[in-house]
Amino acid sequence: MNILAIETSCDETAASVVSSQHQVLSNVIVSQMDIHAAFGGVVPEVASRHHVTSIQRVIQEALHQAHLKPTDIDVVAVTKGPGLIGALLVGINAAKAFGYVHNIPLLGVNHLKGHIHAISLSHTMQYPLVALLVSGGHTELIYMPEDGVYELLGATKDDAVGEAYDKVARTLGLGYPGGPLIDQLAVKGVASYSLPTPMKDEAGFDFSFSGLKSAVINLIHNETQRGEAIRVADVCASFQETVVDTLVKKTILAARTFQVKQVAVVGGVSANLGLRNAIEAYQGEFDVVVPKLEYCTDNAAMIGAAAFAMIRNHEPFDTIELDGSVHSDIFNQGDF
């Protein structure tokens, strides 16, 4: 079976062909990062317009690289949400048209499910598992007792981790997206600034990052006002250490509580080297897995991987009525 997968939920126009056994035959991504960098973040309308101009070319290229014709495709899968509505609609309509014209079934895929199943592109998923999903829009701990069952254990009460990274980077004048830049600088610095540990005394699996983000931003402003030079790499190291500590502690607490076999870290922030190294320390106690780097940030191969899981679990296909307006952006609202 060959699945053509399409992803346009934010600022990447992506298409991929994934075949059975999770073989990625092509994985095409046209990033708009440079365009949005000028604004310091993603501008939704600009993103939609660029998706419109790129989508056909990206789909053609994905088929071309896979050496397949449209008639070789068995299912067209597309991100149905959560994401920027205008951006989602471009991918959804392209998928609907492709499916309709070639008489191929259509499957709308939750973007977060995509991030989780990115794991299956390089590892066998083992249940029960706990997944830490960390991206620009989400920070969630998800428990999967078995294939196809998702339970939300906790989520951020305010900012997502990626969002906090991007805002701290912007205040430091590092550019967009900030995550990779902070990650690179963190290894060159020392965690010598003292920062508050988020939700230190709170039980449960929720997160909060806006207090930490504000503390870093205040620190930068105060030092600047005092005329002190900011040790940028040290700020990055301090911020990253606090974030990674918080994420790993809660993830391991959840993994022990639910006695899981596998611990997965997924989403754009799972590309973070500090986080990957820190969670790797628990290899042995659990089977610790992270996606390959190219499948951490948004891509369409992960949407294809999630589509395979949905088909395996007999989830129904979608109709021409599929649109991006009905979706939940967290796991426990029934539309996951």
**Position 299 contacts Zn ion (CB under 5 A):** no
Q: Which is nearer to Zn ion, 11 or 298 (CB)?
A: 298
Residue 236 contact among ligand KG4, Zn ion, none, beta carbon within 5 to 8 Å by kind: none
**Position 298 contacts Zn ion (CB under 5 A):** yes
Give the contacts of 88 (CB within 8 A, at least 6 positions apart): 8, 9, 79, 80, 81, 324
Q: Which is nearer to ligand KG4, 179 or 198 (CB)?
A: 179
Of 33-41, 50-58, 129-137, 189-197, the window that binds Zn ion (rule: CB under 5 A) is: 129-137
Q: Which residues of 239-278 are buried (b: 16+ CB within 10 A; e: fewer)?
A: bbbbbbebbbebbbbbbeebebebbbbbbbbbbbebbbeb
187, 273 Cβ separation under 8 angstroms: yes
Residue 162 contact among Zn ion, ligand KG4, none, beta carbon within 5 to 8 Å by kind: ligand KG4
DSSP for 228-269 reads PPP-HHHHHHHHHHHHHHHHHHHHHHHHHHTT-SEEEEESGG
Binding Zn ion (rule: CB under 5 A), the pick from 13, 16, 79, 135 is: 135
Least distance in Å: CB of 137 to ligand KG4?
4
Number of residues that bind Zn ion (CB under 5 A): 2
Residue 324 contact among ligand KG4, Zn ion, none, beta carbon within 5 to 8 Å by kind: none
Of 167-175, 280-288, 294-302, 322-330, the window that binds Zn ion (rule: CB under 5 A) is: 294-302
Q: Sheet containing 262-266: which strands, arranged edge to edge?
A: 151-155, 139-144, 129-134, 262-266, 287-289
Q: Which is nearer to Zn ion, 135 or 251 (CB)?
A: 135
Query: Interface with ligand KG4 by CB under 6 A: which residues?
Result: 10, 135-137, 162, 165-166, 177-180, 183, 267-269, 271-272, 297-298
Least distance in Å: CB of 269 to ligand KG4?
4
285, with CB counted inside 10 A (0-12, 13-18, 19+), is exposed
Residue 32 contact among Zn ion, ligand KG4, none, beta carbon within 5 to 8 Å by kind: none
Q: Which is nearer to Zn ion, 158 or 329 (CB)?
A: 329
Least distance in Å: CB of 139 to Zn ion?
12
Q: Which is nearer to Zn ion, 135 or 246 (CB)?
A: 135
Least distance in Å: CB of 296 to ligand KG4?
7
Q: Which is nearer to Zn ion, 140 or 298 (CB)?
A: 298
Helical segments of 258-335, H only:
273-280, 301-312
Q: Which is nearer to Zn ion, 162 or 274 (CB)?
A: 162
Compute the distance between CA of residue 40 and CA of residue 177 in angstroms, rounded to an integer.
8
Residue 291 contact among ligand KG4, Zn ion, none, beta carbon within 5 to 8 Å by kind: none
Least distance in Å: CB of 105 to ligand KG4?
26
Of 48-56, 230-238, 290-298, 326-334, the window that binds Zn ion (rule: CB under 5 A) is: 290-298
Q: Which is nearer to ligand KG4, 159 or 318 (CB)?
A: 159
What are the E-state strand segments in 121-187?
129-134, 139-144, 151-155
Residue 110 contact among Zn ion, ligand KG4, none, beta carbon within 5 to 8 Å by kind: none
Show the 3-state SS of 67-122.
CCCHHHCCEEEEEEECCCHHHHHHHHHHHHHHHHHHCCCEEEEEHHHHHHHHHHHC
Give the contacts of 130 (CB within 8 A, at least 6 positions apart): 141, 142, 143, 144, 153, 251, 254, 255, 258, 260, 262, 263, 264
DSSP 316: P
Question: Which spans of this chain sit near Zn ion (rule: CB under 5 A)?
Answer: 135, 298
